[in-house]
Amino acid sequence: MLGAFFGAGYRDWWFSYINNIAHVPVFDNHWLVRQSVAKVFEKGFIKLDRLQPSMIEYELKGVAVGPEELRLKIDGPYPLLGDHSRSRTPTVDARFIGTHARFSRSIRLLDIASTFAAAEPLPDPGKAIALSGAPRFTGSLLERIFGSNPIAAVFFSVWRLIPGRARSAAYKTLRNFGELLYGRTEANVQRLPFGLFLKAHGDPAECRNEVTALTMVHQRTVIPTPRVLDVVYGSGDWDSKDSDSYLLMTQLRGMSMYRCIEVISDNDLAHIRHHLGLFLSQLRSIPKIHRTGVTISDTLGEACKDSRIRGGQHVGPFEDEAAFSQYLMFPDDPARRGHNIHFTHSDLNPRNILVDRIATRGGGHRWISIGSLRKPCLSAFAGHGDTTNSSNRRFSSWGITLRSLN
């Protein structure tokens, strides 16, 4: 096993070291470093990769596991393993450093596993619904300041009276200001001060569908969703200065599940899966839009959009599943018939699921699901849509988890 993991050379050296440990010079396995460095090195936060073929030149790299970021002041990323005192003091054997580099990720995972809370039974549906109905806007400073006070409603009512072109220019400035403060968040989503987010859409139809989806989910379910404060619809013409549509919304607490999926215990994952099942049940209970001759559509009863269909182009609306299947591979496959049609998220992968870490009485922590609509793509699709989409993305193992929800 060690030979497969280390290679024959490293394995033989380790066996030789263990069998003759009494004869190994003390400087070979001792290394004097600063205390701050020793702590992060011991926990596997950093590793030193040797720059071949040199025996003293290394590159310092962070070991990314979970959402925690390394907070260590580094003078330079390329340290030298040598006697800087020039007193000819022997240095630690480089193979110890190489061994640590190979095991650094495993060290991180073992350290994280020690913080997992003890296994707990799944909550009953009533308690789970209460948990999923937690405060929707806990991340928004505006919500904490105004609460139910009508001042906020009056402010945004007056703000929305300003012409769209002026508001669009203001949002472009806010977008640049937010990038200056917090860095670039995502390609089309920018974090702003006061717990707000600004989302830019190049497609006005997609923006209208998202606004309707957020409003619909907020009104008809207890799934935590961002609150839409303002929307400016652009022209959709790339040659125009006002091509982008802007959506201003409040921020939900938590983080994307993809950032921490590696550090979530099996027990917490079972809880998250349980809550997601309740979220999906609520989505599927939303009444479909009644429009003559339309069964599969977006939230407005118009053309729907999916990144796996025709390169993300708008298609439909469709009269039934058979008409929709004509846009897919193997449209006449009998397996593409007879599914229930209801509202689905259509992009339920870990990037679009919000989770949060809570402390437990025992000193550990647990992960809970906060919401499943970080990026609403709500449309009326066949019931297997969420599972199929997630199975065909980079989070292939997540598709297996979702199959238990259908």
> What secondary structure, in 3-state letters, does 125-165 show?
HHHHHHHHCCCCCCCCHHHHHHCCCHHHHHHHHHHCCCCHH
pLDDT at 11: 82
In sequence order, which ranges of 257-319 are alpha helices (DSSP H)? 266-284
pLDDT at 243: 65
Q: Which among 377, 372, 386 is positioned nearest to 278, based on CA atoms?
A: 372
Structure tokens at 42: 């011991």
Distances 394 to 349, 373, 390, 391 between C-alpha atoms, Å: 9, 19, 8, 8
Pairing between β-strand 46-50 and β-strand 304-305 as defined by DSSP bridges: unpaired
Along the chain (406 residues), what's the average pLDDT of each consecutive run of 10 residues? 78 83 73 80 88 86 79 78 74 83 88 71 49 42 52 81 89 90 81 87 84 86 85 68 78 81 82 83 80 79 79 81 82 78 77 80 70 57 56 55 59
Q: What is the CATH number of domain 137-251?
A: 3.30.200.20
Exposed/middle/buried for residue 345 (C-beta within 10 Å: 0-12, 13-18, 19+): buried
Tell me the C-alpha distance between 62 and 238, whole Å: 40
Tell me the C-alpha distance between 270 and 273, whole Å: 5
List the strands of the sheet with 245-250, edge to edge.
189-192, 196-201, 245-250, 228-232
pTM of full prediction above 0.75: no
Grouping H, G, I as helix, E, B as strand and the rest as coil, residue 376 is coil
For the chain, which residues make up each domain, given as ranges? 2-113, 137-251, 256-403
